[in-house]
């Protein structure tokens, strides 16, 4: 008897979510996306969202992805025909792709999954009819410019893709959007503790962090895992549970204590599958992400270690996915530090790009195709100006005080030092010369907070100012600083200088070589960034 593997994928989830700079509407858009894969799809099947967890045909319904097995061709046809219209009416601005693969027996499921993914990738290139282009007489949201949608639940209110607050009264809305906070914080969180305005999340200064974390190589893992529908479903559910538990553990580790009327200075936006996107007070970002990734590794080891294997197609032999002995998944994260007034959309774009750079770095230092698990790492950047550009341009404009020149035999100086590796559960595939996040923070940046380090911080800032204008003068400044620290026997301060500069005045001892270009890279900029974000007081 033929079966039909249906797949749907929502594209540009974060682009849709960050349409506005209002936290209420960002959270609302996140809830809308969550409902696409749960409530809305379940109702297309005549079910409730909770029924999908026990439905053996529901393989995946999270993180903007749906995979469902239909036994009836007509039922599958109805979903393909009606589901996109339902979603467009539910949330104008969302783009969804669909594909179906027919197969005859369970032995063909693995190839069907691979074919489905290929079809979905092809389908993304076919534009979906836009529902955002309307006549002059169509009512639109003042925030996004998108058409508003009539809702039966409250006839006198309209809902734009980013304006979830207008659907129900305030208390009902809070209960609705509280679900993702309970997933991220724990069941004990109360509606009045959740931030709905950016003003509730800033601390001594206006710096916020947008964080995007993502598992490493999950696509390749799923290709090998997805040989059986039941195993694929169990893997997806356990991965989702591990990610949510890691988020809860990371939140608890912050030890946030609220006074009466205060809100949690952290707001999850996406938490599903292996994806986690959130906004938080800037000083919480590094400790939160570090713990989240550590716990992600730990919980995937607990929940997935018995599922990280596959059967060889030729021999039928059971083989581990990771030949290096790893029994868990790793993850990378990008953190964009921005002012609260900076457009969140561009902040998220930067966070996602930084996450991609971290992934590229860790995969370049392990042979993933041969079964080696990439190590977990973090990349971050503090946005200093209002000029919107990609990270590569930022590096050239802001983080390269001295450019390498092969013809003139000039060694370049760069302030791009990351990514920083987690290196706790796993100690493999960490490139030479890279720091762990603990090396950056606990062993160096945090020590600069001491009162006796005030002169050291001043010296480092003077070096940053001088190096772009005159590298020889910068060397003299650093030599003078070393001499003063030696005379005063400030060994801890000298250790920071040595760790940060690593005998940088020796021209033969460059730390990076890219092609024919020689370049030294320094963590000074990142160390001072964290000091500013964590301790600057502007209000």
Q: Does some domain include residue 74?
A: yes
Residue range(s) defining the domain that contains residue 442? 401-535
Q: Does some domain include residue 103?
A: yes
Q: Does some domain include residue 529?
A: yes
- Helix H, strand E, coil C: the string for 343-375 is CHHHHHHHHHHHHHHHHHHHHHCCCHHHCCCCC
pLDDT value of residue 199: 83
Q: Does some domain include residue 48?
A: yes
pLDDT value of residue 166: 41
DSSP state of 284: G
- Which tokens in the block code for residue 457? 């911080």
- Which tokens in the block code for residue 121? 């990738």
Spatial neighbors of 360 by CB under 8 A, at least 6 apart, are none
Q: Cα separations (Å) of 132 from 90, 110, 151, 341, 392?
A: 12, 37, 17, 27, 33
Q: Does some domain include residue 161?
A: no
pLDDT value of residue 510: 47
pLDDT value of residue 511: 53
Q: What share of the chain is helix, strand, coil (3-state, %, to 5)?
A: 45, 20, 35
Q: How many domains does the chain have?
A: 2
Preceding amide of 419 cis, omega within 30: yes
Residue after which a domain boundary falls, among 139, 168, 197: 139
- Which tokens in the block code for residue 341? 């007034």
Residue after which a domain boundary falls, among 114, 139, 164: 139
Q: Does some domain include residue 494?
A: yes
* Burial grade of 456 (CB within 10 A; 0-12, 13-18, 19 or more): buried
> Pairing mode, if any, of strands 517-521 and 377-382?
unpaired
pLDDT value of residue 386: 75
pLDDT digit string (tens) for the chain, length 539 residues: 789 999 998 887 777 777 777 777 777 777 777 788 888 899 999 998 888 988 999 998 887 889 999 999 999 999 999 998 888 777 777 788 999 999 998 888 888 988 998 999 898 887 766 655 555 566 666 666 666 655 554 444 444 444 444 443 344 445 556 788 899 999 888 888 988 888 888 877 889 999 999 999 888 888 788 778 888 889 989 999 999 999 999 999 999 998 888 899 999 998 988 999 999 999 999 999 999 999 999 999 999 988 888 887 778 788 888 887 888 999 999 999 999 888 888 899 999 999 999 999 998 888 777 788 899 999 999 998 877 778 999 998 999 998 887 777 777 888 998 899 997 545 555 677 788 999 999 989 999 888 888 888 888 998 988 888 888 888 888 888 888 888 888 888 888 888 887 654 444 444 555 555 677 888 999 999 998 888 877 76
Helix (H) / strand (E) element for 420: namely strand 420-421
Q: Cα separations (Å) of 269 from 10, 95, 180, 262, 352?
A: 16, 19, 8, 20, 14
- Which tokens in the block code for residue 448? 């600069």
Q: Does some domain include residue 235?
A: no
* Burial grade of 440 (CB within 10 A; 0-12, 13-18, 19 or more): buried
CATH number for the domain spanning 121: value is 3.30.70.270
Residue after which a domain boundary falls, among 139, 159, 184: 139
From the centroid of its chain, how far is CA 512?
27
Spatial neighbors of 379 by CB under 8 A, at least 6 apart, are 332, 333, 334, 335, 354, 355, 357, 358, 361, 418, 419, 420
């Amino acid at each position: 008897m033929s079966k039909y593997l249906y797949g749907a994928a929502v594209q540009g989830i974060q682009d849709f979510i960050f349409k506005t700079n209002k936290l209420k509407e960002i959270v609302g858009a996140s809830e809308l996306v969550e409902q696409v894969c749960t409530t809305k799809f379940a109702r297309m099947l005549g079910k409730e969202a909770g029924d999908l967890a026990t439905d053996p045909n529901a393989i995946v319904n999270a993180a903007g992805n749906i995979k469902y097995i239909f036994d009836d061709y007509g039922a599958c046809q109805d979903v393909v025909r009606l589901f996109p219209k339902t979603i467009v009416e539910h949330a104008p601005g969302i783009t969804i792709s669909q594909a179906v693969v027919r197969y005859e027996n369970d032995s063909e499921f693995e190839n069907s999954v691979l074919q489905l993914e290929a079809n979905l990738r092809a389908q993304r290139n076919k534009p979906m009819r836009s529902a955002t282009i309307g006549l002059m007489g169509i009512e639109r949201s003042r925030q996004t410019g998108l058409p508003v949608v009539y809702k039966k639940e409250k006839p006198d209110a309209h809902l734009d893709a980013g304006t979830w607050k207008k659907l129900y009264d305030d208390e009902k809305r809070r209960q609705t959007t509280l679900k993702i906070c309970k997933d991220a914080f724990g069941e004990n969180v109360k509606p009045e503790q959740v931030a709905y305005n950016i003003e509730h999340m800033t601390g001594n200064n206006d710096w916020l962090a947008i964080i995007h974390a993502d598992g490493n190589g999950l696509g390749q893992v799923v290709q090998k895992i997805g040989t059986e529908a039941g195993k694929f479903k169990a893997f997806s559910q356990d991965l989702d549970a591990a990610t949510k538990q890691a988020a809860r553990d990371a939140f608890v580790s912050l030890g946030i204590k609220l006074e009466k009327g205060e809100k949690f200075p952290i707001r999850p936006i996406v938490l599903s599958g292996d994806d986690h996107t959130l906004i938080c007070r800037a000083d919480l970002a590094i400790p939160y992400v570090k713990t989240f990734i550590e716990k992600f590794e730990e919980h995937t080891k607990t929940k997935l270690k018995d599922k990280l294997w596959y059967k060889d197609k030729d021999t039928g032999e059971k083989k581990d996915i990771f030949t290096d002995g790893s029994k868990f998944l790793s993850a990378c994260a990008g953190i964009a530090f921005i002012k609260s007034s900076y457009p969140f959309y561009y902040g998220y774009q930067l966070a996602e790009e930084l996450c991609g750079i971290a992934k590229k770095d860790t995969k370049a230092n392990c042979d993933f195709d041969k079964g080696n698990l990439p190590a977990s790492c973090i990349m971050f950047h503090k946005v200093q100006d209002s000029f919107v550009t990609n990270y590569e341009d930022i590096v050239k404009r802001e983080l390269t005080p001295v450019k390498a020149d092969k013809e003139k035999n000039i060694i370049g100086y760069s302030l791009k030092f990351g990514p920083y590796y987690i290196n706790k559960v796993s100690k493999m595939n960490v490139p030479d010369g890279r720091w762990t996040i603990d090396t950056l923070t606990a062993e160096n940046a945090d020590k600069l907070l001491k009162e006796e380090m005030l002169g050291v911080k001043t010296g480092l800032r003077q070096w940053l100012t001088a190096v772009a204008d005159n590298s020889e003068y910068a060397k003299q400044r650093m030599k003078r600083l070393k001499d003063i620290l030696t005379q005063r026997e400030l060994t801890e301060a000298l250790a920071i200088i040595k760790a940060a500069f690593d005998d940088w005045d020796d021209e033969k001892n460059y730390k990076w070589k890219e092609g024919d270009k020689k370049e030294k890279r320094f963590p000074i900029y990142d160390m001072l960034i964290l000091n500013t974000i964590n301790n600057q007081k502007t209000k």
